[in-house]
Amino acid sequence: MERGKGMKILSIESSCDETAAAVVEDGRKVLSSVVASQVEEHRLYGGVVPEIASRRHAESVSSVVREALLQANLSLADIDAIAVTFAPGLIGALLVGVNFAKGLSLATGKPLVPVHHLRSHIAANYISHQDLKPPFLCLVVSGGHSHIVEVTDYTKMRVIGATRDDAAGEAFDKAARTMGMPYPGGIELDKVAEQGNDKAYVLPHPTVAGSVYDFSFSGLKTAVINLLHNAEQKGEEICKEDLCASFRRAVVECLTDNLFKAAEDLGVKTIVAAGGVSANRLLRRELERICGEKGYSLYVPELSLCGDNAAMVGAQGYYEFLSGNIAQTDLNAVATLPIDYR
């Protein structure tokens, strides 16, 4: 086939608790996207149990891939390349997708494209916004990562700021858990916060001395735990809606303060958000408000592409392929890998 024209990529994602497969054309057009979530099972344990995640991926990867081909009305012969999330994530979970993709690549002779999970979260925006092209500044906020990334090209990026402890999604989930909400509590906390007064409780806005773009969320989470314990000891009532709203406001302000400081310092006028936490209602409203005030362009993924899925892997996989990032059959999964690894 002519390189880069009508190129169909079959993509696989298994970095955490979603087994997903998709077919994406030229990095922008989703022909099919299938996500099998394990969240109900992990909820029983209050978080993702890595071994259970690996086992469920192993059980469902084959049928999820078959379903993605079926929904796209294609067979393996119609596919031009196979993209797979190889890092970062739960190692046992990643290995299932990587090995399955390697097997497919070996059996079909199609090129194997390794995709970095956070790069794929950013690429969800290429599907939601056909006009979006680098350069831009991206806030990548997921369950495991909180980064400010300068994306200079599709496969060229530089980390401007990162969390020193908990990720934003992790902070949301932990705070929600202390308030008795089921995993992953971030989603529920966001919903409950809509009914609350975000000025009711005064919470810290932790900063990192000497690193103006870095985040620190563990102190904020501890402040919520202390507040709940103190109230319990004194026999005082806590208004859950108000505490959720105050906590959400504090997290979002930490994120937006650093993001827009970086945008100003770097002179970047296009802002992008990515990752599970980019579904947060207040974050989306605040990004819109601030970008409107400053005259910046804003891109956020459609809600269905904020969380883990394989369509975003197919989108980034296309650009990785064009940049010559092709793996051999000795490709391994990597639990921790910086977004600017290459």
* Residues in contact with Zn ion by the rule CB under 5 A: 142, 308
The b-or-e profile of 200-220 (16+ CB within 10 A means b, else e) is: ebebeebebeeeebbbbbeeb
Could you tell which of ligand KG4, Zn ion, none binds residue 13, using a CB distance below 5 to 8 A set by kind? none
How many residues sit in the footprint of ligand KG4 (CB under 6 A)? 19
- Tell me which of 184, 196, 301, 314 binds ligand KG4, using CB under 6 A: 184
Answer for the pair 260, 290: CB distance below 8 angstroms, yes or no. yes
Q: Are strands 136-141 and 270-274 parallel, antiparallel or unpaired?
A: parallel
- Tell me which of 27, 97, 144, 301 binds ligand KG4, using CB under 6 A: 144
Q: Counting contacts by CB under 6 A, is residue 243 touching ligand KG4?
A: no
CB of 145 to Zn ion, least distance (A): 8
Q: What is the CA radius of gyration of the chain?
A: 20
CA neighbor of 254 nearest in space, from 219, 289, 279, 227: 219
Distance of CA 5 to the CA centre of its chain: 28
Is the Cβ of residue 154 or residue 217 nearer to ligand KG4 in the bound state? 217
End-to-end CA distance of the chain: 27
CB of 242 to ligand KG4, least distance (A): 17
Sheet of 156-162: strand order equals: 156-162, 146-153, 136-141, 270-274, 297-299
CA neighbor of 179 nearest in space, from 239, 118, 101, 220: 239
Q: Give the chain's length.
A: 342
Q: Counting contacts by CB under 6 A, is residue 307 touching ligand KG4?
A: yes
- Tell me which of 142, 163, 246, 270 binds ligand KG4, using CB under 6 A: 142
Q: Counting contacts by CB under 6 A, is residue 143 touching ligand KG4?
A: yes
Is the Cβ of residue 32 or residue 309 nearer to Zn ion in the bound state? 309
CA neighbor of 121 nearest in space, from 292, 331, 285, 279: 279
Is the Cβ of residue 50 or residue 219 nearer to Zn ion in the bound state? 50
Is the Cβ of residue 39 or residue 200 nearer to ligand KG4 in the bound state? 39
Answer for the pair 144, 163: CB distance below 8 angstroms, yes or no. no
> Which range in 157-165, 206-214, 234-242, 272-280 contacts ligand KG4 by CB under 6 A?
272-280
Q: Counting contacts by CB under 6 A, is residue 286 touching ligand KG4?
A: no
d(CA 279, CA 76): 33
Q: Counting contacts by CB under 6 A, is residue 172 touching ligand KG4?
A: yes
Which DSSP string corresponds to 281-335? HHHHHHHHHHHHHHT-EEE---GGGTSS-SHHHHHHHHHHHHTT--B-TT----S
- Tell me which of 92, 97, 134, 186 binds ligand KG4, using CB under 6 A: 186
Could you tell which of Zn ion, ligand KG4, none binds residue 114, using a CB distance below 5 to 8 A set by kind? none
For residues 37-56, which are near ligand KG4 according to CB under 6 A? none
Question: Tokens 């296309």 — which residue?
Answer: 318
Q: Counting contacts by CB under 6 A, is residue 279 touching ligand KG4?
A: yes
CB of 238 to ligand KG4, least distance (A): 20
Q: Counting contacts by CB under 6 A, is residue 276 touching ligand KG4?
A: yes
d(CA 269, CA 260): 10
Could you tell which of Zn ion, ligand KG4, none binds residue 134, using a CB distance below 5 to 8 A set by kind? none
Is the Cβ of residue 26 or residue 253 nearer to ligand KG4 in the bound state? 253
Q: Are strands 18-25 and 270-274 parallel, antiparallel or unpaired?
A: unpaired
Q: Counting contacts by CB under 6 A, is residue 301 touching ligand KG4?
A: no
> Which range in 54-62, 104-112, 138-146, 293-301 contacts ligand KG4 by CB under 6 A?
138-146
Interacting residue ranges for ligand KG4, rule: CB under 6 A: 16, 121, 142-144, 169, 172-173, 184, 186-187, 190, 275-277, 279-280, 307-308
